[in-house]
Structures are given as structure tokens and as C-alpha cells.
Amino acid sequence: GNSVTQMEGPVTLSEEAFLTINCTYTATGYPSLFWYVQYPGEGLQLLLKATKADDKGSNKGFEATYRKETTSFHLEKGSVQVSDSAVYFCALRGRAGYALNFGKGTSLLVTP
Amino acid sequence: EAQVTQNPRYLITVTGKKLTVTCSQNMNHEYMSWYRQDPGLGLRQIYYSMNVEVTDKGDVPEGYKVSRKEKRNFPLILESPSPNQTSLYFCASRGTGIGNYGYTFGSGTRLTVV
């Protein structure tokens, strides 16, 4: 079945540091890939997505590239801010269905 | 404003007392789903619905029921809650047309069963 594995946190960075959160997946066919962000006390918000191999999703300075050869969708940001502190979830949706399969989430704390 | 509305936001209840968490969306989405979020486990799907009167089990359906009598509403029912159902619950919806990739999530319901 489909599954997502992402690096465990918490990740603590200083403001303006470079961020990478690793995400790899297992799926049949060609899934769509997503990063969701959950700010404290809130629901999940779509951060970015990619629907086919080599697509790059980007939003708010975050980027992730759909790498089919390595089955990965790593999240990156060149310079994090305190306001980026949140939990980040990698997810996939198989072509045949509508359910999202989530990773376990990575907590990010950015300190001033 | 397009949104998914869950109620209540917080609920403390006792073991065995039936409860319902409501979910409503105003985007005319066909697909709706319930997830629970637990530390170290991420989000796991409980039930989903492809359209009115069409529901199916997700990964962790035991102890839950759902119904979809109207397109906009998808309530989650716990007939006899137990402490292991203490969790943070999210409802989500999505359109099924071409290009509809995004899921909209509610703000969550934090349930404590004592």
C-alpha cells in the first residue's frame, strides 16, 4: 500500500538558517505529493503540491521537487523565520483514490 | 468564505456516553473525510465519503460511525467512546473535478474521553 516516511523531529533552527525536511514515499503508479503545515492550535493548510515527476511545488519561500527516481519530495527553505515554527506533514494521494496518506509530521522550531 | 466547519472545538466526555462531532462544508465538495491525529502517528483516516449516501472505512474505523445524508454535512459518531479515542480529529473535504487537488481541513476537535 501507499506510505510516507518523513524525518522525525523536533528540528530546531536559528532564524535565517537553511531548512530541509526529508520525505520519501512508497506508492504504486504516479501519486500526487503534498506538504501541509499545521500552526499551533490550527488545522492543516496546504503548503505546496506536485502532481507529476520533476514538478517543483513552491509557496512562501518553501520548495519541494517530485523525484520519482529516489521516491522523494524533500521540503526546503533557504532562510527560515520564527513564524515558520509549525508541524510539517508530507502526504501523498494515489491516482486511483482520494485518500491522503500522511507522514508522522516533523515539528520545526525557529528561534530568534 | 470557503471553509470546513467542525463543532465542537473541544469536548471532554465520559466513557460510554454517545457523542457526535459535526462537520459542514460550503464548497459543494463531493469528497469528505475524517482523520484522527495522535502524537508519533501522524494523521490516520477514519472514514470517508465519495458523495451522498456513499461512505467507506478508512484505516482506523473501529468505534466510529458516519453518515452522509446531505452533501454539505458529514458527522462523526462515537456510539460508546473509550479513552483510546482521546485524540485530535479533523474533517476534510475536496472537490472531484479536474484540477481539484487541494483538500480543505477544518480547525479540529480535541476530544478527551475519561
Q: Compute the average pLDDT of residues A81-94.
A: 94
Which of B41, B45, B103 lies at the smallest CB-CB distance from A46? Answer: B103
Q: In this predicted model, what pLDDT tens digit does every residue of B42-95 receive, in sequence order?
A: 899 999 998 999 999 999 999 999 999 999 999 999 999 999 999 999 999 988
Put simply, whether B50 touches A (Cβ < 8 Å) is yes
pLDDT value of residue B5: 95
pLDDT value of residue B53: 93
pLDDT value of residue B98: 66
pLDDT value of residue B96: 73
How buried is residue B13: exposed, middle or buried, by Cβ count under 10 Å (0-12/13-18/19+)?
middle
Of A94-108, B20-34, B40-54, least confident by mean pLDDT is A94-108
Q: With beta carbons under 8 A apart, name residues in chain B contacting A45.
A: 105
Q: Compute the average pLDDT of residues A44-61.
A: 94
Q: Which residues of A64-93 are buried (b: 16+ CB within 10 A; e: fewer)?
A: bbbbeeebbbbbebeebeeebbbbbbbbbb
Distances (CA, A) of B16 to A84, A100, B19, B23, B81: 40, 30, 9, 22, 5
Q: Compute the average pLDDT of residues A77-85.
A: 97
State the greatest distance between any 2 C-alpha atoms of chain B, in Å, as a whole number: 44
Shortest Cα distance from A68 to chain B (angstroms)? 19
Question: Across the interface, do A44 and B105 touch by the CB < 8 Å criterion?
Answer: yes
How many CB atoms lie under 10 A from the CB of residue B43?
A: 26
The cell 504516479 sits on which residue? Answer: A30
How buried is residue B99: exposed, middle or buried, by Cβ count under 10 Å (0-12/13-18/19+)?
exposed
pLDDT value of residue A60: 95
The span from the CA of B42 to the CA of A44, in Å, is 12
Q: With beta carbons under 8 A apart, name residues in chain A contacting B31.
A: 98
Residue A73: is its pLDDT beyond 90?
A: yes
Put simply, whether B10 touches A (Cβ < 8 Å) is no
How many CB atoms lie under 10 A from the CB of residue B17?
A: 11
Higher pLDDT, A68 or B1: A68
> Mean pLDDT over all residues of chain B?
93
Q: With beta carbons under 8 A apart, name residues in chain A contacting B103.
A: 46, 100
CB contact set of B23 (below 8 Å; sequence gap of 6+):
B4, B5, B6, B32, B34, B73, B74, B75, B76, B91, B106
Residue A112: is its pLDDT beyond 70?
A: yes
Residue B101: is its pLDDT beyond 70?
A: no
DSSP symbol at A99: P
The span from the CA of B50 to the CA of A29, in Å, is 22
Q: With beta carbons under 8 A apart, name residues in chain A contacting B94.
A: 98
Residue A96: is its pLDDT beyond 70?
A: no
Q: Compute the average pLDDT of residues A63-86.
A: 97
